[in-house]
Structure 1
Amino acid sequence: MLATLEQQLDRLTRAGQADLLIRTRQGIEKEGLRATADAAISQTPHPRGLGSTLTHDFITTDYSEALLEFITPVQNSPAEALDFLTQLHAFSFEQLGDEELWCASMPCEIPSEEAIPIAEYGSSNVGRLKHVYRQGLKYRYGKMMQTIAGIHYNFSMPDEFWPAWQQLEGNTDSLQAFRSAGYFRLIRNFRRYGWLLLYLFGASPALSASFMSGRQHSLEQLDADTLYLPYATSLRMSDLGYSNKAQADLNICFNHLDSYADSLHKAIHTSHPAYEEIGVEVNGHYRQLNTNVLQIENEYYSDVRPKRVTESGEKPVHALMHRGVEYVEVRNTDINPLLPLGIDESQSRFINAFLISCLLGRADDLDDQECQRVTENHSRIVNRGREPGLTLFSCEGEVSRETLAEKILDQVAKTADILDAAEGSSAHTDAVAAQRDKIANPSLTPSAQVLAALRESGLSHSEWVLQLSRQHRETLQPQLTAEARERFTRAAAESLQAQAALEQAEQPAFADFLADYVAS
């Protein structure tokens, strides 16, 4: 990012193409557990008023039947995406009865793994496949990790940007190849600098003690029911949560589409001895889809992914290989329990400026040594990111967190200036300024604010989050519009009809369906 960003911005500005940078496309996927009035994970089925989790476009579940997932369509601005997310929340609250939507990444009270219901998707072959995949996750990693919630931020540049930038670059590849290479350039730089987002927006420094019940850990006791690390930013993204520790030997290469697809393809077609011991179908019950290192591509837990919308029956890696990268999914965003939606417009605008800076930044590959530095920086930030005197690795050696962060923010500020000049606002530069304050004063970070609020409340983590969840419900539910209620009511009914049609249609035996799916 640091070498070429300013030149790229200057070239786009002089060519009269800078306005393309503000036409970003974004969508948000947000998870959240349904919790009971006493802060325990819900044991009830997915509310029928929310429709079918298999066929609804906007409301589904992730691992657990209790883990709701809201999906906004692709929108032309952060404000539009957040407004749609607001309406999804408000409509869902009307269907939840006396349950609450958990407003934090780390889960509510879970007495044991047996209390976590795996998501159900009906009796169709596609529905059964989704359920069996989740069974496989249980056997491979345990259920507890799968209850962690987060925000996935989907980002793409407008279609018109790519031929304009390709012409400025003097590139003669196909437009599809050029676009894919551009998104992988973004991904490489995101991996270099993504630790900064964890510092700035990490909001999970504490968790319910029930999450670690029976497991060894090095967390400290905040109270009888709450564990934490004093300088942690995102325990969700640590080895306790969605880390790559269980998949450390995969060596998925993020440098280019070909190497990424090849390494991922190998992982989903190579059997793993430990998973062979689990078995696939045991005593008439499926435990997993297959015994391969990955059952499907989505099993690989990475903080950023190249993505393309798939066609019916198409696997994600095949879609990427055949039609190239369409957008990037950022997966390291915690739910901020202090915000009604867990994310706000300032954060979204900063992420956009950050991602554009990664896209237009340095173009060199990540080598093995740099990958090791990336991994170590990630670990230091999630576990002790606010620690006074913390140093991080750079290509010049170890430097202070503040020095490295300011260098990155200086570059993002240049992008923000261009975006605001094209938009006629100060929204992006204001968002960057807010992040500079967090570098100078770590107590302004969400992780520090969460710990401070927890201590001040005198409540346990679960009691405090439950209280906030109720407050956010009171804020969001009255914002439901009549138009949104009508739209989502109709979508729920249509999704139930679509699932029923799938289940009534003639279909092969599940064993044959699964064999064909795995073979493809």
Structure 2
Amino acid sequence: MFSEIGQLIFDNEAVAKTSDFTMGLEIEMQRVDETGELSQEPYPAGAGDEQINPWITNDFLETMSEVVTPPAAHALDAMHYLYGINNALRTALSPGELLWPLSMPPRLPKDKSRIPLAKMGPKKEAYLKEWLKRHGFSEGTPCGAHINLSIDPHVFNLVYDRMHDQFDSELDLQNYLYAKIAQGFLRYRWVITYLFGASPIAEANYFDKGQGPKAPIRSIRQSSHGFGNKFTGDYTNIQQYVNRIEQGVSDGKLISDYEFHGAVRFKGNTNLKELPKTGVQYLELRMLDLDPSSSVGIRTNTLRFFRLMASYFIMSPALKPDQVNAVVERADKMNEEVSEEHPNDISKYQASARAFLQRLEMYADKIQLGPEYQEEIEDLQDRVENPLSTPSAKMITHIKNNSLTDYALRRAKHYQASALQSIRPFKGFETNRKISANDLKHELFQGSWEPDKDKDQQ
């Protein structure tokens, strides 16, 4: 089950460190009015300045609010931050405004020119205008949940101390392990689409007439019908990842390196060219639809599952370098097939999904993870056997007149009412000052909750 690195970690009783990831979350949601139209209200003043507030910002549209959490030591800590900042955003909304809980946008106006792009400064606005010319309005509107994942430095220290003859430096090992995890998530992205896909239909005016799926599917957003540029990355190693993106920019296939929106992105140095030298600091995992059953778009158990997967990928044998692109290309095709399956149908890849979850269950048993992980695996195994229990299958039971608007508004109004009943809503963003992660923690919770430990913002 274990690779040489995995066996070393296991023998040194350091397995816990491989699941002790620092995690951050980025959750996008559209602001809408009570009828389910994109909001005409300006960016909420109570959410601060969208150009400088790192915790509540905009993405693509003025109505697309993005909540960003500081890095947290545990899944539950990340969720505490997320709930706190999400509540702050909700309490800053204008009367009658709501946060749309679905990945696919609400019905779009036929005249899309009246919907303003995000006001994020001249450089970003110029980029958004060029993106709009290339891809069209609709493709920029789906929202999702992004998980940022950072490996505990103790893992690098332990492995390099005993295997330094196999790596040029500890930074070389660091880049290798991040690439290994990325390859794992890309290889099994189709499993995530099956288990968590939650965008079965699009609302009016998203697709041009005659375009788009003819019936509900598992995930429009995770399919070729979804977000943005379809440029494929090279995940063989960090240098080839950078080379591939730079070539895409040089060939005019990408506006800039920022436009690369692969399912996984390596993050670290803002100068992409320098990333192999300065080292990957964390992964951005971009393969989750919003979960409409949660007011914040994601559940704690989902974070635990991602953490388990990442730990398993660290400990397992790596793909050979000359296999990576072929394996990822095959996985992309599998993801497309799974994303376009009807939500009620047993997946074509049910047996493969079953085998993968069984392997994760064996791994969780071997490293003696807690019962919360076992319970999550059991729930997900049930989704594999019973497609009616998947998010998209549950959602299509609420379709009326080819729309999920009634369902989404019921959810949105319930979540908004709960937020407005907060005993002490956070008002700290109104001052338009930059708030550090430590200040945010103190002002959000003021002693009512304390993370197990703090980690600096990456």
TM-score interval for Structure 1 and Structure 2 normalised by the shorter chain: 0.7 to 0.9
Question: In structure 1, what residue type is equivalent to 2:118?
Answer: A
Partner of 2:105: 107
Is contact 1:18–1:418 with CA below 8 Å preserved after alignment?
no
Partner of 1:67: 64
Distance in 2 (CA, whole Å) between partners of 1:36 and 1:486 is 22
Distance in 1 (CA, whole Å) between partners of 2:245 and 2:402 is 44
Q: How far is the alpha carbon of 1:12 from its aligned partner?
A: 2.2
Distance in 1 (CA, whole Å) between partners of 2:160 and 2:194 is 34
Distance in 2 (CA, whole Å) between partners of 1:138 and 1:404 is 38
- In the alignment, structure 1 residue 258 sits paired with structure 2 residue 258: no
- In the alignment, structure 1 residue 295 sits paired with structure 2 residue 255: yes
Is contact 2:88–2:427 with CA below 8 Å preserved after alignment?
no
- Structure 1, residues 36-57: CA drift from partner, whole Å, max 9, x if none? 1211112232122211111111
- In the alignment, structure 1 residue 358 sits paired with structure 2 residue 313: yes
Question: In structure 2, what residue type is equivalent to 1:256?
Answer: N
Distance in 2 (CA, whole Å) between partners of 1:479 and 1:430 is 30
- Structure 1, residues 403-443: CA drift from partner, whole Å, max 9, x if none? 2112211222234335654xxx3111211111111111111
Partner of 2:444: none
Secondary structure of residue in 2 paired with 1:45: coil
- In the alignment, structure 1 residue 152 sits paired with structure 2 residue 149: no
Partner of 1:242: 227
| Structure 2: tracts of 5 or more residues without a match | 436-458
Distance in 2 (CA, whole Å) between partners of 1:368 and 1:155 is 23
Q: How far is the alpha carbon of 1:326 from its aligned partner?
A: 0.8
Q: How does 1:457-476 map to 2 (within 5 A)?
A: 460-476=403-419
Is contact 1:41–1:115 with CA below 8 Å preserved after alignment?
no
Is contact 1:437–1:444 with CA below 8 Å preserved after alignment?
yes
Partner of 1:347: 302
Distance in 2 (CA, whole Å) between partners of 1:132 and 1:25 is 34
- Structure 1, residues 375-397: CA drift from partner, whole Å, max 9, x if none? 21011111106564643xxxxxx
Partner of 1:194: 189
2:334 to 350, 358, 377: 377
Is contact 2:199–2:218 with CA below 8 Å preserved after alignment?
yes
Q: How far is the alpha carbon of 1:486 from its aligned partner?
A: 4.6
Partner of 2:266: 306
Normalised TM-score (structure 2): 0.88
Partner of 2:398: 453
Distance in 2 (CA, whole Å) between partners of 1:88 and 1:319 is 33
Secondary structure of residue in 1 paired with 2:296: coil
Distance in 1 (CA, whole Å) between partners of 2:318 and 2:423 is 45
Max radius of gyration: which structure? 1
Q: How far is the alpha carbon of 1:156 from its aligned partner?
A: 1.4
Is contact 1:82–1:345 with CA below 8 Å preserved after alignment?
yes
Q: How far is the alpha carbon of 1:176 from its aligned partner?
A: 0.7
- Structure 1, residues 83-111: CA drift from partner, whole Å, max 9, x if none? 11111111111211221111110001211
| Structure 1: tracts of 5 or more residues without a match | 122-126, 221-228, 271-291, 392-400, 496-520
Q: How far is the alpha carbon of 1:359 from its aligned partner?
A: 2.6
Is contact 1:33–1:66 with CA below 8 Å preserved after alignment?
yes
Distance in 1 (CA, whole Å) between partners of 2:257 and 2:424 is 38
Distance in 2 (CA, whole Å) between partners of 1:182 and 1:25 is 15
Q: Which moved more, 1:7-16 or 1:332-341?
A: 7-16
Aligned residues: 430
Distance in 2 (CA, whole Å) between partners of 1:103 and 1:6 is 41
Distance in 1 (CA, whole Å) between partners of 2:423 and 2:178 is 36
- In the alignment, structure 1 residue 116 sits paired with structure 2 residue 122: no
- Structure 1, residues 171-227: CA drift from partner, whole Å, max 9, x if none? 34211111101111111121111110111111111221221244523323xxxxxxx
Secondary structure of residue in 1 paired with 2:62: coil
Distance in 2 (CA, whole Å) between partners of 1:418 and 1:377 is 29
Normalised TM-score (structure 1): 0.78
Is contact 1:31–1:70 with CA below 8 Å preserved after alignment?
yes
Is contact 2:235–2:324 with CA below 8 Å preserved after alignment?
no
Is contact 1:413–1:432 with CA below 8 Å preserved after alignment?
yes
Is contact 2:23–2:72 with CA below 8 Å preserved after alignment?
yes
Is contact 1:151–1:334 with CA below 8 Å preserved after alignment?
yes
Is contact 2:150–2:283 with CA below 8 Å preserved after alignment?
yes
Partner of 1:206: 201
Secondary structure of residue in 1 paired with 2:23: strand
1:163 to 118, 133, 157: 157
Question: In structure 2, what residue type is equivalent to 1:297?
Answer: D
Secondary structure of residue in 1 paired with 2:340: helix
Secondary structure of residue in 1 paired with 2:41: coil
Secondary structure of residue in 2 paired with 1:435: helix
Q: How far is the alpha carbon of 1:267 from its aligned partner?
A: 1.7
Is contact 1:9–1:415 with CA below 8 Å preserved after alignment?
no
**Compared CA separation, residues 195 and 243, structure 1 to 2 (3 A):** farther
**Compared CA separation, residues 368 and 253, structure 1 to 2 (3 A):** closer
Distance in 1 (CA, whole Å) between partners of 2:181 and 2:417 is 39
- Structure 1, residues 466-492: CA drift from partner, whole Å, max 9, x if none? 12111122234434645xx154445x3
Partner of 2:439: none
Partner of 2:454: none
Secondary structure of residue in 2 paired with 1:454: coil
Partner of 1:503: none
Distance in 1 (CA, whole Å) between partners of 2:284 and 2:313 is 14
Partner of 1:508: none
Distance in 2 (CA, whole Å) between partners of 1:451 and 1:355 is 31
Is contact 2:46–2:427 with CA below 8 Å preserved after alignment?
no
Distance in 2 (CA, whole Å) between partners of 1:387 and 1:101 is 28
Partner of 1:274: none
1:23 to 9, 20, 31: 20
Is contact 2:6–2:314 with CA below 8 Å preserved after alignment?
no
